[in-house]
Amino acid sequence: MRSMQGHGMAQAGGTGASLADFIWKNAEDLWGDFKHTDFGKIILPFTLLRRLECVLEPTRDAVREATAQYKDSGIDLDLILRQITRYPFYNVSQYTLDTLGDGKTRQNLQDYIVQFSDNARVIFEQFDIENTLVRLDKANVLFRICRNFAGIDLHPDVVPDRVMSNLYEHLIRRFGAEVNEGAEDFMTPRDVVHLATTLLLDPDDALFEANPGLIRTLYDPTCGTGGFLSDAMDHVANYGNRTRVPPVLVPYGQELEPETHAVCLTGMLLRQLPTDPGRDLSRNIKLGSTLSNDQFAGERFHYCLSNPPFGKKWEKDAAAVNKEHREKGYYGRFGPGLPRINDGSMLFLLHLASKLERREKGGGRAAIVLSGSPLFNGGAGSGESEIRRWLLEQDLVDAIIALPTEIFFRTGIGTYLWILSNKKPGNRRNHVQLINATSLWSPMRNEGNKRRRVSEDQITQIAGIYAEGGDHELSRMLDYRRFGYRRIKVLRPLRMTLQVSDATLAKLREEKAWLALTDEQRAAWEAALTAHHDCIRAFEWAAAFAALTAERNPIIGKVGKSFVKALINALGVRDPAGEVVRAADGTVMADPELTDYENVPLGELPQDYLAREVLPHVPDAWIDASFCDDKDGEPGRVGFEINFNRYFYKYQPPRPLAEIDAELKAVEAEIAALLGEVTQ
């Protein structure tokens, strides 16, 4: 492959997609020596390396001179070099990608990477760069790859942060497609990122306007490549102008996958806070599982953003999560309940709720992208329902926006954007706004399963609907109790008659009390029961019959309660016209086969619901008072579900029968004509 020098500058100013395609051409040099599934592990770290190199290029000579001058002076060289680069990282190597030479390329490149400051060197360690360089060297392509990347200008003045971020994500999506893995699972499309950021931050416009330079914290527990963090920081930067200092968002994040964590680290290394340009923001980006290893335990934030994996099992985190739930309860993150093991997205809902800044300190807001299952999975009393219940009763759910389908890279399913807040304004308290934005999309060229995008105008439209609140075609402002119900257990009496038949006698012969009798006693009972064959008796008949039979036949002896119970068990037959069966204390016994459940809307008395909806059909029904809610102790278990269709459903009347009939006749005529052509 020919060198890319000279051609890199022309390409670098393009979009993330075109630049990714350009960089991906390095794969041509890897074919034959490497599996295509390894290409990404080579190309991405070289892209990051070249980006860092381009950023440091203007101060490279000054750093080398300062290193030579102060390395043995005892002065804090780290502090000096950061001041020179004006970034929180540096490299003191004598090499660049362009000067490694073709003799000891691997050794020189290893030295080059080692000479980065610790916070930058860790990026390449997460790609296991040492082994990669050895493999490239053995294949005799290392020098060529280094020269290829040396010819690409990735300086921020040429390739802005937004384009570079797009580049990373395009490359990662390409890697995911190559190996058929879920690399795109953590990739949030830019339009979704911008919509979430807008809805999260716009309500605080007045706060930002009134407090120039206001410092706030921002957190993403599933930060991926850092798209949410970067977009939110860019968003508030737009508040600034020549006369006003913009607000500042200090980013914090945690990521599970080392490679994407490394990309986020790179992005944060290159970002600077206007109020503290030397601050190393990469130190706030942690590696590990948020659910089982929260590296910001006990910390809270003004803003939170997250796009956790859809429908991902949490079994790997189960031990730690269950322990926290069991030992800490509501003092931990998962006090309200735990969802089923096959979908951990609601754990992230609870996690974000625990990360909101306390109300007395100004409160916090969060935006999280979820699939539809957290809206309705799990019945009353389940972990999912209890999580919804707690979030709603704590008045933490501000809005839920139904997004268009086919706007994500790897799935076309319906998704929802939840807005959490513990600082709702008065007109929104104890209410949840549902926004149906499923129709607000624009077509685009396919990128995997992504066929649609939410345009800037549509983002503005959705933000306007959210800010306005109220009820109209695309919005419903609902009291949170509208989502709740009480699941009551409805019982009906057991009605039975006693019937002596071949079938019931066969059952009697299997009863323990019968088997305990002597042969003579069994024969006596058989004779007595035969006299009542095919007769239907009242339920109370068993005790009287047993007493009378024992009195008349001394062989039988004393009849105990166990034998009477055996008679009832064997001869008893459910009969809607039979007598109500009562226990020894006189209470009516319920028929378990007739047990039913009803969902009573919260706010309505269960007895009123029973009288209106049940008793007109089954007058003998009653509510099981022992089937109670664990929290309030009232009959029936409380459940919550959020059914979007219920609030936005539009009735479509069926077409007139004449119109349907005319269409059918037309189809019949067409079929007849086709058959006529075949038979001719």
pLDDT at position 209 is: 85
pLDDT at position 9 is: 36
Report yes or no: 222 and 308 within 8 Å, Cβ to Cβ: yes
**Segment holding 443, helix H or strand E:** strand 442-447
Query: If you average pLDDT over residues 264-282, what whole number do you get?
Result: 87
Split at pLDDT 50, 70, 90, the class of 241 is low
pLDDT at position 396 is: 98
Q: Which of 58-67, 101-110, 230-239 has the lowest mean pLDDT?
A: 230-239
pLDDT at position 184 is: 44
Report yes or no: 404 and 416 within 8 Å, Cβ to Cβ: no
* pLDDT reading at 666 higher than 90: no
pLDDT at position 72 is: 80
> pLDDT tens digit string along 156-174?
889 888 788 878 877 777 7
- 213 exposed, middle or buried (CB, 10 Å; 0-12, 13-18, 19+)? middle
pLDDT at position 23 is: 77
Residue whose entry in the numeric block shows the structure tokens 């009605």:
495
**Residue, of 281 and 212, whose pLDDT is higher:** 281
* pLDDT reading at 201 higher than 60: yes
pLDDT at position 679 is: 67
pLDDT at position 213 is: 86
- % pLDDT > 70, the chain: 94
Report yes or no: 142 and 49 within 8 Å, Cβ to Cβ: no
Q: Check the CA dihedral 61-63-69-72 and report its sign.
A: negative
> pLDDT tens digit string along 96-151?
999 998 889 999 999 999 999 999 999 999 988 999 999 999 999 999 999 999 98
* pLDDT reading at 219 higher than 90: yes
State the CB neighbour count (10 A cutoff) for residue 270: 18
**Residue, of 412 and 354, whose pLDDT is higher:** 354
Characterise 294 by phi-psi region: left (phi > 0), alpha (psi -120 to 50), beta (else).
beta
pTM listed for this prediction: 0.84
Spatial distance between the Cα atoms of 251 and 268, rounded to a whole number of angstroms:
8
Spatial distance between the Cα atoms of 497 and 281, rounded to a whole number of angstroms:
79
Split at pLDDT 50, 70, 90, the class of 16 is low
> CB pairs under 8 A, 24+ apart, for 23-27?
23/47, 23/149, 23/152, 23/167, 23/171, 24/171, 24/174, 25/1, 26/1, 26/145, 26/148, 26/149
Listing DSSP states for 127-189 in one string gives TTHHHHHHHHHHTT-HHHHHHHHHT----TTTS-HHHHHHHHHHHHHHHHHHHTSSGGGG---
**Residue, of 184 and 40, whose pLDDT is higher:** 40
pLDDT at position 182 is: 45
- 413 exposed, middle or buried (CB, 10 Å; 0-12, 13-18, 19+)? middle
- State both tokens at 554: 């001394």
pLDDT at position 1 is: 31
pLDDT at position 166 is: 78
State the CB neighbour count (10 A cutoff) for residue 632: 11
Distance of CA 96 to the CA centre of its chain: 43
pLDDT at position 15 is: 58
pLDDT at position 483 is: 97
Could you give all domains of the chain from N- to C-terminal order, each with its CATH number?
A: 8-179 (no CATH), 183-313+367-483 (3.40.50.150), 495-580 (no CATH)
Q: Which amino acid is at 412?
A: G
**Residue, of 72 and 430, whose pLDDT is higher:** 430
> pLDDT tens digit string along 74-110?
788 899 999 999 999 999 999 999 999 888 999 999 9
* pLDDT reading at 393 higher than 50: yes
Q: Check the CA dihedral 314-317-323-324 and report its sign.
A: negative
pLDDT at position 677 is: 73
Split at pLDDT 50, 70, 90, the class of 298 is very high
Per DSSP, 308 falls in state: P
Mean pLDDT estimate for the chain: 89
- H helix intervals, 311-410: 318-328, 345-355, 373-376, 383-393
390 Cβ neighbours under 8 A, 6+ residues apart? 335, 336, 337
Report yes or no: 52 and 120 within 8 Å, Cβ to Cβ: yes
Split at pLDDT 50, 70, 90, the class of 656 is confident
pLDDT at position 560 is: 87
* pLDDT reading at 12 higher than 80: no
**Segment holding 254, helix H or strand E:** strand 248-255
Query: If you average pLDDT over residues 398-406, what whole number do you get?
Result: 95
Residues paired with residue 598 on neighbouring β-strands, in sequence order: 488
* pLDDT reading at 180 higher than 50: no
- 663 exposed, middle or buried (CB, 10 Å; 0-12, 13-18, 19+)? exposed
